[in-house]
């Protein structure tokens, strides 16, 4: 029997990158999918792949920076499939790379809104549904960037996700609901469907961004970028019954780097 046969999995940020890789891996192993992104149409390609292989998938458009978005995600999942067994919280990503003191107040708030609130809201709204059924597995996506330079607010947001995971692991330990975190290092994402930073990139911005990448790779013992499938493999493991005695942990999938 497939690993996730009969189970429903939510994947946020499912249109591309790590989210897309996680969704396709879970679907290939039998999960019914709820694919969440700011624009549902961006998930159409993933839905097509899943359905072509005989699986079931629902695309949901929701702003995961808001509680309303997280509530809509869970409501639609239960309405369509009746339950939520797995929830992968992947929305986030550094918008800008530069020294901390160069961020404006608005830019600082945008980084936290992008990379911390979506996971907080997702956990807040999916946990009650899992508690009601006395089972579930949550996998948050953190980052090895918690110790890397030029991404201060993003690093703080991801560090918050690591801390949230540990706290909730203890709170949920006897409920039948497990929660863990996968922290990727520098990844080769390829072309993005939507740009993280829509603003024009100045020469100084490009310099800081390259400096951030150079530092990340310099601090990665394996000296290469990771692949999204390598992250998805770890996510699927923590979401599965094979990880039934693991909760509140952060697993670094970062070529030897740690946050």
pLDDT digits (tens, 9 = 90+) for 7-27: 999 999 999 999 999 999 999
Q: What is the pLDDT of residue 175?
A: 98
pLDDT at 192 over 70: no
How many whole angstroms separate alpha carbon 36 and alpha carbon 42?
Answer: 9
Greater model confidence, 193 or 27: 27
Terminal-to-terminal C-alpha distance of the chain: 36
Give the pLDDT of residue 197: 73
Given a cut of 80, is residue 226 above it in pLDDT? yes
Alpha-helical regions (H) of 82-227: 105-115, 117-133, 152-171, 203-218
Contacts of 70 (CB under 8 A, 6+ apart): 62, 64, 118, 121, 122, 124, 125, 126
For residue 150, is pLDDT > 80?
A: yes
| pLDDT for res 198 | 72
pLDDT at 53: 95
Report the chain's mean pLDDT, rounded to a whole number: 96
Catalytic residue among 154, 161, 178, 254: 154
- Split at pLDDT 50, 70, 90, the class of 255 is very high
Q: Is 154 a catalytic residue?
A: yes
Burial 135-160, CB ≥16 within 10 A → b, else e: ebbbbbbbbbbbebbbbbbbbbbbbb
Helix (H, G, I), strand (E, B) or coil at 181: strand
Q: What would you report as the CA-atom Rg of the chain, rounded to the nearest whole angstrom?
A: 17
């Amino acid at each position: 029997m497939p690993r996730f046969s009969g189970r429903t999995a939510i994947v946020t940020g499912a249109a591309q990158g790590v989210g897309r890789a996680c969704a396709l891996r879970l679907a290939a192993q039998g999960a019914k999918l709820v694919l969440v992104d700011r624009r549902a149409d961006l998930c159409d390609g993933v839905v097509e792949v899943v359905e072509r292989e005989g699986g079931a998938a629902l695309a949901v458009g929701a702003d995961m920076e808001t509680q309303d978005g997280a509530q809509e995600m869970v409501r639609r999942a239960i309405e369509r499939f009746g339950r939520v067994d797995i929830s992968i919280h992947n929305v986030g990503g550094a918008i800008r790379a530069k020294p901390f003191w160069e961020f404006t107040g608005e830019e600082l708030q945008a980084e936290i809104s992008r990379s911390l609130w979506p996971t907080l809201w997702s956990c807040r709204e999916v946990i009650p549904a899992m508690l009601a059924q006395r089972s579930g597995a949550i996998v948050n996506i953190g980052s090895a960037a918690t110790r890397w330079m030029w991404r201060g607010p993003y690093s703080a947001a991801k560090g918050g996700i690591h801390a949230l995971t540990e706290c909730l692991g203890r709170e949920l330990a006897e409920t039948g609901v497990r929660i863990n975190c996968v922290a990727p290092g520098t990844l080769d994402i390829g072309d993005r469907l939507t740009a993280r930073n829509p603003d024009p990139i100045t020469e100084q911005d490009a310099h800081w961004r390259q400096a951030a990448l150079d530092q990340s790779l310099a601090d990665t013992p394996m000296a290469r970028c990771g692949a999204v499938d390598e992250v998805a493999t770890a996510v699927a493991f923590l979401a599965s019954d094979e990880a039934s005695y693991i909760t509140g942990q952060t697993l670094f999938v970062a070529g030897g780097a740690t946050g």
